[in-house]
Amino acid sequence: MPNVVTHNLHVLASVATSSLTGWRGCMVVSHVDQPAKPLVLYDMEACPYCRRVREVLSALHLDVEIRPCPKGGTRFRDEAAAIGGKQLFPLLVDENTGKVLYESNDIVEYLFKEYGKGYVPKTYRPRVYQPVLSSLASAASGLRGLRAKPAKVPEQTLRLWSFEGSPFSRLVREKLCEYEIPYSLHNIGKEHWTEVGPAKQRLKPGVYKPLPGGKRESFFARHQRVQVPYLEDPNTGAELFESARILRYLDETYGA
């Protein structure tokens, strides 16, 4: 099957994943200042409970250092166990407050109380049916981002601009997780209803103008567009838009 066809099928599957999770992690619910020290998340991309945490990080516009811990991984799982005492994910480390947290419900509540408005919005509160739907969402994406694959280790951390609900960004995060490549995740979720829709065909017609003072305005000033995923690799100087290009780059550069 041609690569372009395979990629498009994966995109459609990723759209299904976002749909099953209610497109959480797309819209920003609270604008916050980034903490002095970066949050660190030991994460498994295909894990439904890790996804809940990433959704909230997107909703709060919080950047985070991702330490991928796929099944069979060897790079960060022991490190996570040394910090928290066990290999259980998600694991959030916040050096700003000294908090080390397991359990998605506890992490979600902590993030909204510490960096949000002090309470968990209705959309992000736990529901009895969420684990089932979220497991189906992972299955829809073929459980990519679940198991480790052989890969080269970059000397410097990569940087990814993304938001959790983006189907295209998910494909890149899956690859980074499988390759156990650490990266700085810069969340730039949609800040206003006028940004709803794909970057090249938003629902609101006319020239796109990001909200003044937001993270998207800063990104727009640099690139003259707001589109994710966008990857920077300080190891090679690569700067890439478009998920298909980024996936090909990661395979060619880091695939073993």
Is 167 within the bounds of a domain? yes
Is 197 within the bounds of a domain? no
What is the C-alpha to C-alpha distance for residues 77 and 54, in angstroms, rounded to an integer? 19
Is 65 within the bounds of a domain? yes
Q: What residue type is assigned to position 221 of the chain?
A: A
What is the span of the domain harbouring residue 170?
3-188+228-254
**Total of domains in the chain:** 1
What phi, psi does 134 have (nearest 5°)? -70, -35
Cβ-based neighbours of 224, under 8 Å, separated by 6 or more? none
The residues with which 151 forms a beta bridge, in sequence order, are: 255
Using a 10 angstrom Cβ sphere, with 0-12 exposed, 13-18 middle and 19 or more buried, the burial of residue 80 is buried
The CATH code of the domain that includes 8 is: 3.40.30.10
Q: Are 166 and 192 a contacting pair, CB within 8 Å?
A: no
Is 246 within the bounds of a domain? yes
Is 193 within the bounds of a domain? no
Is 70 within the bounds of a domain? yes
Is 100 within the bounds of a domain? yes
Chain segment 32-43, per-residue pLDDT in tens: 889 999 999 999
What is the C-alpha to C-alpha distance for residues 121 and 115, in angstroms, rounded to an integer? 13
Chain segment 195-206, per-residue pLDDT in tens: 888 777 777 788
The pLDDT of 99-108, averaged and rounded, is 96
Q: CA neighbours within 13 Å on the CB side: how many for 167?
A: 23
Of 199, 245, 247, which Cα lies nearest the Cα of 220? 199
pLDDT at 98 over 50: yes
Is 244 within the bounds of a domain? yes
